[in-house]
Amino acid sequence: MKLLLVLVSLLYYAAVNAQLSGRVGPTTTRRASKQGTVCNVLKYGGVASKTSDVGPAIASAFAACKNGGTVYVPPGEYGMSTWVSLSGGKGWAMQLDGIIYRTGSQNGNMIYIEKTSDFELYSSTSRGAIQGYGYEFHKDGKYGARIMRLSHVTDFSIHDIALVDAPQFHLTLDQCTNGELYNTVIRGGSEGGLDGVDVSGSNIWIHDVEVSNRDECITIKNTANHMLIENIYCNWSGGCAMGSLGLDIDIHHIVYNNIYTVNSNQMFMIKSNGGNGTVHDCSFTNFVGRKNAYTLDIDGHWTQLKLQPGNGVLYRDLTFQNWTATCSDGSRRAPINVVCPDGQPCYNIHIDNVNVWTESGNREYYKCANAYGSGACLKAAPGSGGANYPSYAASTVTLNATPPEMERANVEGNRAGFKTPPTMAADLTSLQLSESIPIPTVPTSFFPGATPYSTLLGH
Ligand SMILES: *[C@@H]1O[C@H](CO)[C@@H](O)[C@H](O)[C@H]1NC(C)=O
Ligand SMILES: *[C@@H]1O[C@H](CO)[C@@H](O)[C@H](O)[C@H]1NC(C)=O
Ligand SMILES: *[C@@H]1O[C@H](CO)[C@@H](O)[C@H](O)[C@H]1NC(C)=O
């Protein structure tokens, strides 16, 4: 029995790791890239002062160190009013031990890194940060620059930093490959358009990351495959998602595991409106949530996105397993909502041991349309004979019970699993828009009971 358990857990572990299609991270070690040239921004015209402009110094240091060196921003405070575009190079690092404060007001990306490989961005003290002072825009209902965007970067890692109060998005990984993002905290203002992490590309491991904002936590954009997203703390955020998805969608082999979501818009949402292409072979396991507006939501009629041409994005072979959560009002928004496109019913959707109860009231409902598989209100596959799945209108299942009664009633076969979800020590007060957001320290746990895969460099 014990051996069997060990085997089962080994198999499970192997399966999770098999999620990635190969190694991730820089191909040379930090030590090796440090042994190359160190280009200290203070030697390239940088001045450690909040009113200085460190942008040109970073660009010059990069030019000198982009092949085998380290661009070094030593501890201290730096202003930044000129944005940098760092293109090309190989085998380099950016060691951000200081804090960069946005002072410029143009749009675009404060730091844009593209077409480079074997790259590492980190803080050796876990204290490096970029403070975007987004509130200076948000208080007037405006947006400004994004903090950081990586495009077509391969074999890279980002870790041990804080990205704070972006005037717009915090971190975008656009068509990157073989990457690792970890031990990072993102803290933004409380409104839409301030995305935490948006990621597309292939073979990326994102783990031990906290996002507080009000928009995307860790969200998959088209196209994407072989992503492993683990130990994520979406704290007063929009929550994790895929989308919005339109034309030529090609997303597959994505695993989200150990996702803690509190006071957010959703625990997981997949959103499209029309469009075409496929999302397939993804799993969403071990989710814990509290007080989220939406919980498990596949919405093929996401009208915030203009209706796209096409019959609808096809969703197939998606598994949701082992969730424990409360939603804020389950009679208002179905905590399990699987509404697939009319022209493209989804199939092999499996919802297993997903336990949600409502914070307010004593009633909640699940809603399914054009959706086949098992669990919640999903319809079983029609007859034999493969993928001929007729559309059907929305049908709902209503649950009337408070949790202790649910445990006895065992509604839907899986209600017995409902337990009050655990909390994290620092579950929030509120987010702000009109005042500066303090730079947080990188936390040392991102999921109840889970230890990060790597210790913080600064510890
Ligand atoms: C999606 O629709 C567009 C526009 O109608 C079409 O050009 C494209 O080939 C379609 N893609 C797929 C994957 O069906
Ligand atoms: C289900 O998730 C919880 C975390 O909420 C975890 O402690 C437990 O081990 C998971 N169960 C399985 C079978 O993975
Ligand atoms: C969660 O967010 C709130 C609001 O910004 C903050 O007060 C709290 O410290 C955050 N928790 C952690 C662990 O950072």
335 lines ligand 1 (CB under 6 A): no
Mean pLDDT of 365-383: 92
Residue with tokens 């389950």: 330
- The span from the CA of 88 to the CA of 106, in Å, is 24
**227 alpha carbon – ligand 1 mean position (Å):** 24
Q: What DSSP state is assigned to residue 239?
A: E
For residue 440, which atom of ligand 3 is closest to its CA? 14
pLDDT confidence of residue 414: 41
Segment 406-450, tens digit of pLDDT: 443 334 434 445 666 777 766 655 566 678 888 888 888 899 889
User: Which of 213, 429, 444 has most ligand 3 atoms within 8 Å of its beta carbon, as the pocket-test mutant?
Assistant: 429
> Which ligand has its closest atom nearest to the C-alpha of 431?
3
pLDDT confidence of residue 300: 97
Give 291's contacts (C-beta < 8 A, 6+ positions apart): 262, 263, 326, 327, 328, 359
First to last CA, the chain: 39
pLDDT confidence of residue 105: 97
pLDDT confidence of residue 190: 87
**326 alpha carbon – ligand 2 mean position (Å):** 16
**366 alpha carbon – ligand 1 mean position (Å):** 32
| DSSP secondary structure, 298-357, as one string | EETB-TTSPPBSSS--EEEEEEEEEEEEEES-TTTS-SEEEE--TTS-EEEEEEEEEEEE
User: Quick check: 256 and 229 in contact, CB under 8 A?
Assistant: yes
Mean pLDDT of 128-157: 97
For residue 235, which atom of ligand 3 is closest to its CA? 1
pLDDT confidence of residue 35: 67
Mean pLDDT of 126-155: 97
353 lines ligand 2 (CB under 6 A): no
- The span from the CA of 244 to the CA of 272, in Å, is 5
Residue 123's pLDDT band, with cuts at 50, 70 and 90, is: very high
User: Quick check: 223 and 254 in contact, CB under 8 A?
Assistant: no
**356 alpha carbon – ligand 1 mean position (Å):** 37
Residue 257's pLDDT band, with cuts at 50, 70 and 90, is: very high
User: Which of 190, 194, 232, 428 has most ligand 3 atoms within 8 Å of its beta carbon, as the pocket-test mutant?
Assistant: 428
The model's pTM: 0.91
- The span from the CA of 285 to the CA of 271, in Å, is 19
Residue 404 has pLDDT above 90, yes or no: no
pLDDT confidence of residue 4: 47
pLDDT confidence of residue 275: 98
Segment 52-73, tens digit of pLDDT: 999 999 999 999 999 999 999 9
- The span from the CA of 151 to the CA of 266, in Å, is 27
pLDDT confidence of residue 431: 60
Q: Of 426, 297, 267, which is closest to residue 371 (Cα–Cα)? A: 297
Helix (H) or strand (E) holding 180: strand 171-187
235 lines ligand 3 (CB under 6 A): yes
pLDDT confidence of residue 434: 76
User: Quick check: 146 and 170 in contact, CB under 8 A?
Assistant: yes
Closest residue CA from atom 7 of ligand 3: 428
Residue 182 has pLDDT above 60, yes or no: yes
438 lines ligand 3 (CB under 6 A): no
